[in-house]
Structure 1
Amino acid sequence: METQNLTDYSRIAQAIDYIKINFKKQPALDDVAEKVHLSPFHFQRMFKDWAGVSPKKFLQYLSVEYAKNILKDKQSTLFDAAFETGLSGTSRLHDLFMNIEGMTPGEYKNGGEQLSINYSFAESPFGNLIVASTAKGICYMAFADDEQTAFNHLQQQFPNAQYHQVVDMMQQNALYIFTRDWSQLNQIKLHLKGTPFQLKVWETLLKIPVGNLSTYSAIAQSIDNLGASRAVGSAVGANPVAFLIPCHRIIRSTGEFGQYHWGSTRKAAMIGWEAAQINPEI
């Protein structure tokens, strides 16, 4: 991805913030463009290049009404949906592309001293990332607004591991998930430290298709534990691989997007961007 994407995302984030704050006024394209210091023409073109749809269309995906309709639509539930499995379809299930292997206690004991971890920094449609891998798979992915802080957070996960700033094939393959064409994407292997309950929740999140949304209570129901909504919320918040396990697709039952570890604006950007992938403008 080109360096331009990072600058574009910072402007996209500004625009989304402005649109959210002034939602009731339905701001015009000229107003939003002025806010991000671009001409209406350049803003419209930049936004469509980023999202695949116009700002006006994107705005629809950020509404509470749109989210409520997704939650109500029986075709969108985890239990009733007939999922498309064609390789070219971006609505194909995340879990067809993901394989989670839980770390053994021996692998992460003593601060992960047995682990050798490669890490690198990359760009995405939602800002800079740090992505890290063991010999078995991706163990960490997080948004890296500051590289040193991001690396420090990685080290906190496995303080005694050996770290190497190296780009490997597993990392490169994982980054293909940010493209609109998944035909180049091989199965992404995840090698994650988590409790059995956390791993079960993360595996369930993978069943939410691109462009769909779910709630904490629906996830609890799907793992046959109706009283576990709060525990589900904690497991969602502990997701160690941003975007790969799509915790951004979990919203409140009211249709409000709610908070997100990497910021509510980034969550809105992800939800809108994914909705645009399955509802492109012709």
Structure 2
Amino acid sequence: MENSAAVNYKRIEKAIAFISTNFERQPSLEEIAEQVHLSPFHFQRLFTEWAGTTPKRFLQYISMQYAKEILSKERATLWEATQATGLSSTSRLHDLFIQLEGMTPAEYKQGGKNLHIEYRVDNTPFGEVLIATTWKGICYLSFIEHNLEKSLQALIAKFPEATFTAGRNEMQDQALRIFHHDWADMPQIKLHLKGTDFQLKVWQCLLEIPKGSLCSYGQIAHEIGTPLASRAVGTAIGSNPVAYLIPCHRVIQSAGGIGGYMWGINRKKAIIGWEAAKKQ
């Protein structure tokens, strides 16, 4: 006889398959819940625990991915993408892009064509970083692991049609002060991020971890209300586009292991030790 965890997993798997197959009809919560023989309330809670997001948001993600496929075609229009995803109006698709991508459908289709990004390389106690800004705020901060060319390629891949200029600005200066100044006397740093609702929720939670403190993946999952989504939390942390400012280095395994880090385990250990020393 299957245990309850296995039964619930199969229910969520079936629900995800149903949403993925029928997203063009934009099925309601009640209709999806009926497929797995649960009440809408129970299904919503169970789906959120297992998938790390609500059924409605998951449906939006699926719809968004398909709309992006449509818009990637040279002559595709916003109306065609709206029709293909089953949304009721182009304004709904517009709002969805703003919520999930941080840009309008037109901006997405143009690959950041009208976006100007200024970047520079600077030194920190943990090696060189590539930092980039839009007019809204910091959009990218990465430790340079191998060489600058690879780091630049990674930045350009995120905004393939944007224009890039090497240069220095005040937003960059303010952000980089975090490595050299008193943390209690820091100006507010503006970030320009794009990500899913779940990713943004995880990144926001990371910002609340005090400097010099550590947290586990499970604790983050619990804090954002999805206690069974530790693996999804780990994936969101691994997608962090802004090193150090969004402190993914402060998250470790519940058993005490250091866990992974995009910019190298040794660098993560060094940062943790440095922060602990400055806290004293």
TM-score, scaled to structure 1: 0.61
Match for residue 271 of structure 2?
270
Match for residue 140 of structure 2?
140
Displacement, 1:127?
Answer: 0.1
Q: Which has the larger radius of gyration?
A: 2
Displacement, 1:180?
Answer: 4.2
Aligned length: 179
SS in 2 for 1:188: coil
CA contact (8 A) 1:102 1:199 kept: no
Which amino acid in structure 1 is aligned with residue 190 of structure 2?
K
Relative distance call for 1:239 and 1:123 in structure 2 (3 A) is: same
Relative distance call for 1:109 and 1:270 in structure 2 (3 A) is: farther
| Structure-1 separation of matches of 2:257 and 2:239 | 21
Relative distance call for 1:221 and 1:159 in structure 2 (3 A) is: same
CA contact (8 A) 1:108 1:114 kept: no
Match for residue 248 of structure 1?
249
Match for residue 169 of structure 2?
168
| Structure-2 separation of matches of 1:102 and 1:208 | 25
Which amino acid in structure 1 is aligned with residue 136 of structure 2?
K
**Per-residue displacement from partner, 1:126-185 (whole Å, max 9, x unpaired)?**
000000000000000001141111111100111110101011110010000112413652
Match for residue 44 of structure 2?
none
Displacement, 1:103?
Answer: 2.1
Structure with the bigger percentage of helix: 2
Relative distance call for 1:105 and 1:230 in structure 2 (3 A) is: farther
Structure 1 residue ranges without an equivalent (≥5): 1-100
Map 1:79-228 onto structure 2 (within 5 A): 103-106=102-105, 107-145=107-145, 146-182=147-183, 185-228=186-229
Match for residue 28 of structure 2?
none
Which amino acid in structure 1 is aligned with residue 129 of structure 2?
L
CA contact (8 A) 1:108 1:115 kept: no
Displacement, 1:110?
Answer: 3.1
Map 1:13-24 onto structure 2 (within 5 A): none
TM-score, scaled to structure 2: 0.61
Relative distance call for 1:183 and 1:248 in structure 2 (3 A) is: closer
Relative distance call for 1:243 and 1:108 in structure 2 (3 A) is: farther
| Structure-2 separation of matches of 1:220 and 1:233 | 9
| Structure-2 separation of matches of 1:225 and 1:109 | 33
SS in 2 for 1:218: helix
Which amino acid in structure 2 is aligned with residue 103 of structure 1?
G
Larger RCO, structure (CA 8 Å, separation 6 or more): 1
Relative distance call for 1:212 and 1:182 in structure 2 (3 A) is: closer
| Structure-2 separation of matches of 1:213 and 1:105 | 36
